[in-house]
Protein backbone atom coordinates (compact mmCIF):
# COMPACT_ATOMS: atom_id res chain seq x y z
CA UNK A 1 0.00 0.00 0.00
CA UNK A 2 1.30 3.47 -0.83
CA UNK A 3 1.07 6.28 1.70
CA UNK A 4 2.17 9.87 1.82
CA UNK A 5 4.69 10.42 4.57
CA UNK A 6 5.93 13.65 6.07
CA UNK A 7 9.44 14.49 7.29
CA UNK A 8 8.85 17.55 9.49
CA UNK A 9 12.58 18.13 10.01
CA UNK A 10 12.85 19.05 6.30
CA UNK A 11 9.79 21.35 6.19
CA UNK A 12 10.58 25.07 6.04
CA UNK A 13 6.95 26.26 6.27
CA UNK A 14 6.77 27.69 2.73
CA UNK A 15 3.14 26.44 2.35
CA UNK A 16 3.72 25.47 -1.30
CA UNK A 17 2.15 22.06 -0.61
CA UNK A 18 -0.98 23.65 0.88
CA UNK A 19 -1.34 26.06 -2.03
CA UNK A 20 -0.85 23.35 -4.66
CA UNK A 21 -3.48 21.15 -3.01
CA UNK A 22 -5.97 24.02 -2.68
CA UNK A 23 -5.41 24.99 -6.31
CA UNK A 24 -6.14 21.46 -7.48
CA UNK A 25 -9.00 20.56 -5.12
CA UNK A 26 -10.56 23.90 -4.15
CA UNK A 27 -9.39 23.57 -0.53
CA UNK A 28 -6.26 22.06 0.94
CA UNK A 29 -6.14 18.52 2.31
CA UNK A 30 -2.77 19.29 3.89
CA UNK A 31 -2.21 21.83 6.64
CA UNK A 32 1.13 23.17 7.81
CA UNK A 33 1.27 24.16 11.47
CA UNK A 34 4.10 25.97 13.24
CA UNK A 35 5.07 24.98 16.76
CA UNK A 36 8.00 26.73 18.44
CA UNK A 37 9.71 27.59 15.16
CA UNK A 38 9.31 24.14 13.60
CA UNK A 39 6.80 23.31 10.88
CA UNK A 40 4.58 20.23 10.84
CA UNK A 41 2.56 19.28 7.77
CA UNK A 42 -0.67 17.56 8.85
CA UNK A 43 -2.12 15.11 6.36
CA UNK A 44 -4.67 12.29 6.43
CA UNK A 45 -2.97 9.05 7.43
CA UNK A 46 -5.56 6.87 5.64
CA UNK A 47 -6.29 4.93 8.83
CA UNK A 48 -7.11 1.23 8.56
CA UNK A 49 -10.27 1.59 10.68
CA UNK A 50 -10.94 5.24 9.89
CA UNK A 51 -12.83 6.89 12.76
CA UNK A 52 -13.99 9.61 10.35
CA UNK A 53 -15.47 7.01 8.02
CA UNK A 54 -17.10 5.09 10.88
CA UNK A 55 -18.78 8.15 12.42
CA UNK A 56 -20.03 9.82 9.23
CA UNK A 57 -23.86 9.77 9.40
CA UNK A 58 -24.24 10.09 5.62
CA UNK A 59 -21.44 7.65 4.66
CA UNK A 60 -19.79 10.46 2.68
CA UNK A 61 -16.24 9.49 3.70
CA UNK A 62 -14.25 6.62 2.21
CA UNK A 63 -10.61 5.86 1.44
CA UNK A 64 -11.10 7.60 -1.90
CA UNK A 65 -12.05 10.87 -0.22
CA UNK A 66 -15.23 12.71 0.66
CA UNK A 67 -18.36 12.69 -1.47
CA UNK A 68 -19.26 16.40 -1.48
CA UNK A 69 -22.84 15.63 -2.50
CA UNK A 70 -23.45 13.46 0.56
CA UNK A 71 -21.44 15.53 3.07
CA UNK A 72 -23.64 17.70 5.30
CA UNK A 73 -20.73 19.45 7.03
CA UNK A 74 -21.68 18.23 10.51
CA UNK A 75 -18.05 18.14 11.63
CA UNK A 76 -18.19 14.77 13.38
CA UNK A 77 -15.35 13.51 11.19
CA UNK A 78 -13.23 16.49 12.15
CA UNK A 79 -13.84 15.86 15.85
CA UNK A 80 -12.79 12.19 15.77
CA UNK A 81 -9.75 12.46 13.50
CA UNK A 82 -6.76 11.64 15.75
CA UNK A 83 -4.43 13.70 13.53
CA UNK A 84 -6.58 16.78 12.98
CA UNK A 85 -6.37 16.13 9.25
CA UNK A 86 -10.06 16.66 8.43
CA UNK A 87 -11.21 20.25 8.02
CA UNK A 88 -14.59 21.85 7.37
CA UNK A 89 -14.49 24.45 4.60
CA UNK A 90 -17.59 26.08 3.14
CA UNK A 91 -19.81 23.66 5.07
CA UNK A 92 -18.13 20.56 3.59
CA UNK A 93 -15.48 18.24 5.01
CA UNK A 94 -12.10 18.04 3.29
CA UNK A 95 -9.18 15.64 3.72
CA UNK A 96 -6.32 14.33 1.63
CA UNK A 97 -7.22 11.63 -0.87
CA UNK A 98 -3.59 11.24 -2.04
CA UNK A 99 -4.45 12.51 -5.55
CA UNK A 100 -5.34 9.11 -7.05
CA UNK A 101 -5.72 10.66 -10.53
CA UNK A 102 -2.11 11.88 -10.59
CA UNK A 103 1.15 9.95 -10.86
CA UNK A 104 2.61 12.23 -8.17
CA UNK A 105 0.35 14.06 -5.70
CA UNK A 106 0.30 17.87 -6.01
CA UNK A 107 1.78 18.41 -2.54
CA UNK A 108 4.80 16.24 -3.34
CA UNK A 109 5.45 18.03 -6.64
CA UNK A 110 5.20 21.40 -4.91
CA UNK A 111 7.56 20.59 -2.02
CA UNK A 112 11.01 21.92 -2.93
CA UNK A 113 12.54 20.58 0.31
CA UNK A 114 11.29 17.01 -0.30
CA UNK A 115 9.64 16.95 3.12
CA UNK A 116 6.70 15.04 1.61
CA UNK A 117 7.03 11.70 -0.17
CA UNK A 118 4.91 8.76 -1.23
CA UNK A 119 6.25 5.38 -0.14
CA UNK A 120 5.20 1.80 -0.53
CA UNK A 121 4.70 0.83 3.12
CA UNK A 122 4.98 -2.89 2.36
CA UNK A 123 8.41 -2.39 0.74
CA UNK A 124 9.49 -0.10 3.57
CA UNK A 125 8.47 -2.68 6.16
CA UNK A 126 10.26 -5.49 4.29
CA UNK A 127 13.45 -3.40 4.02
CA UNK A 128 13.42 -2.56 7.74
CA UNK A 129 12.84 -6.22 8.61
CA UNK A 130 15.73 -7.25 6.35
CA UNK A 131 18.06 -4.74 8.03
CA UNK A 132 16.99 -5.91 11.47
CA UNK A 133 17.58 -9.55 10.58
CA UNK A 134 21.01 -8.71 9.17
CA UNK A 135 21.84 -6.85 12.35
CA UNK A 136 20.86 -9.66 14.72
CA UNK A 137 22.30 -12.49 12.64
CA UNK A 138 25.40 -10.78 11.34
CA UNK A 139 24.41 -11.55 7.75
CA UNK A 140 25.78 -9.19 5.15
CA UNK A 141 28.89 -8.44 7.21
CA UNK A 142 32.42 -9.67 6.69
CA UNK A 143 33.12 -12.99 8.33
CA UNK A 144 35.01 -12.55 11.56
CA UNK A 145 37.60 -14.85 13.01
CA UNK A 146 36.01 -17.24 15.43
CA UNK A 147 38.17 -15.84 18.22
CA UNK A 148 36.49 -12.45 17.70
CA UNK A 149 33.01 -13.83 18.20
CA UNK A 150 31.25 -13.58 21.50
CA UNK A 151 29.74 -16.91 22.34
CA UNK A 152 26.26 -16.53 23.72
CA UNK A 153 24.92 -19.50 25.61
CA UNK A 154 21.60 -20.06 27.22
CA UNK A 155 21.30 -20.89 30.92
CA UNK A 156 20.60 -24.53 30.03
CA UNK A 157 23.79 -24.80 27.97
CA UNK A 158 25.89 -23.28 30.77
CA UNK A 159 24.31 -25.63 33.31
CA UNK A 160 24.95 -28.65 31.08
CA UNK A 161 28.61 -27.68 30.61
CA UNK A 162 29.03 -27.27 34.38
CA UNK A 163 27.49 -30.72 34.99
CA UNK A 164 29.69 -32.31 32.31
CA UNK A 165 32.81 -30.91 34.02
CA UNK A 166 31.74 -32.35 37.37
CA UNK A 167 31.11 -35.78 35.92
Domain coordinates in residue numbering, the chain? 2-125
| Distance, CA of 48 to CA of 133 (rounded, Å) | 27
0.75 cut: is pTM over it?
no
The CA distance from 6 to 11, in Å, is 9
As a whole number, the mean pLDDT across the chain is: 86
| Structure confidence at residue 148 (pLDDT) | 43
Protein fold of 2-125: Alpha-Beta Plaits (3.30.70)
Mean pLDDT value of segment 89-100: 91
Region 64-88: mean pLDDT is 93
Residue (of 41, 98, 42, 40) closest to 66 by Cα position: 98
Contacts with 155 (C-beta within 8 Å, 6 or more apart), sequence order: none
CB 107 within 8 A of CB 17: yes
Residue range 95-109: mean pLDDT, rounded: 92
Banded pLDDT at 36 (limits 50, 70, 90): very high
Helix (H, G, I), strand (E, B) or coil at 133: helix
For the cut 50, the answer to whether the pLDDT of residue 50 exceeds it is: yes
Closest CA relative to residue 30, chosen from 67, 69, 4: 4
Angle among Cα 92, 68, 54 to the nearest 5 degrees reads 80
Report pLDDT for 16.
Answer: 96
Whole-number percent of the chain with pLDDT over 90: 57
Rounded to an integer, the average pLDDT of 34-63 is 92
pLDDT at 149: 42
Amino acid sequence: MEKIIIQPDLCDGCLDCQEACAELHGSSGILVREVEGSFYPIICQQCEDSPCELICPTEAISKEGIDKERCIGCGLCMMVCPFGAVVIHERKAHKCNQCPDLDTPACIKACSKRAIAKVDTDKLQAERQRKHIEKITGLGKKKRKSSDLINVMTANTRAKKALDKEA
